Amino acid sequence: MSSNPFLPFPEVVDVLPIVIPLPGSDLITLNIYAVGRGPITLIDTGLKIPGALEYIRQRLQSAGFDLEDIERIIVTHGHQDHFGLAVAMRQASGRQIPCFIHEDDRWRVASENYREGAWTPEMERFLAMADMPPSEIEKVKDRFVFLRELCDPLDDVSIMRDGDVFTGDGYHLTVIHTPGHTTGNCCLYESRRSILFSGDHIIKHITPNPLMEIKRTHLRDPDYRSLKTYLLSLEKLRGVKARLVFPGHGEYIEDLSGIMDGYVVHHRERMDLIWKALRRESRPLYRLIGDVFPFVPEGDAFLAVSELLVHLEILLEEGRVELADPGPPVLFRAL
């Protein structure tokens, strides 16, 4: 596994970016970070894919470390590509490396969640509401089965909360809870070097998905709305003086404020696009995809309808859209 030539991360003392290429994926890379002079803290782990663990070990060894030098793992949020290798790292290191995750995402990484599976009655109702055709539903099922194989469930975890601090030789990390992409999504701010480790909250080349929460019984806030919350989390970062942003995917960022401004404009433009499409014709979520997204990768129709719904939640709240038919499928109408 070779390093990615498109990501010239700047050299920063006591910070080692470990960049794992993802050929053919719009994410481009998986980025994990080792911070400190030893023992080190690892921010995220990447997926359980062939060669990844050995590649991470080699990168650590190039900086004078090994898996045994990992004091703790901090998981920015509970998606497979951010915790998938944690159990394998514990096994390879020969000890139970402490893993930290925000309390609102603890359920996502747990064995119980994976025993339950993604294909719940709630998911069936959501896809019926969206009017997704059977052929697309089968692709979504295949995608979820594939993703399940890219991680090991993580049960023995410690909880972190907004404002918690992790320190060691060469680093001082503060947890910033930034829900939206997930309910427990967090960024980490390294104050000595003014670096924001942004996970999936801030990514340079794409706008992160504020995903629709299907398993809502796990949420502390029954009224949680992911896009509305995500936009509030962006505002929460306005006061952070970050010289550099090191994201979970793709290239590093130097203009945090500019990226966030672009996100806000993007989401407002998407809401306007949805509203204009519904002015032409009332329709369910799946039938809006072609009007809003120029291209949807194979098997990603769930992500598309999820993103459509979180935008519609704000349009409904603003009174620009209403339910034309409670369905299923649910039809929306522009006002």
133-161 pLDDT, tens digit per residue, is: 999 999 988 888 888 899 999 999 999 99
Residues 59 and 155 in one domain: yes
| Residue 1 falls inside a structural domain | no
State the first-to-last Cα distance of the chain, in angstroms, to the nearest integer.
53
Alpha helices in the chain (DSSP H): 52-62, 80-83, 86-93, 106-109, 111-116, 121-130, 134-148, 226-236, 256-280, 289-292, 301-318
Encode pLDDT of 195-216 as tens digits.
Answer: 999 999 999 999 998 989 999 9
Q: Which residue has the tokens 């995402």?
A: 105
Evaluate whether residue 8 is within a structural domain. no
| Structural domain span for residue 316 | 122-144+264-334
Would you say residue 2 lies in a domain? Answer: no
The DSSP string of 41-81 is EEE------TTHHHHHHHHHHHTT--GGGEEEEE-SSSSHH
Count up the domains in the chain and report the number.
Answer: 2
Do 205 and 89 fall within a single domain? yes
Residue after which a domain boundary falls, among 227, 256, 285:
256
For residues 162 and 288, membership in a common domain is answered with no
Give the model's pLDDT for residue 324. Answer: 94
- pLDDT for position 5: 45
Name the token pair of 146. 């594939």
Mean pLDDT over 212-240 rounds to 95
- Per-residue model confidence (pLDDT) at position 152: 96
pLDDT grade for 297, boundaries at 50, 70 and 90 = confident
Cα 192 from chain centre: 26
In a domain, 5, yes or no: no
Q: What is the pLDDT of residue 292?
A: 94
The pLDDT of residue 259: 97
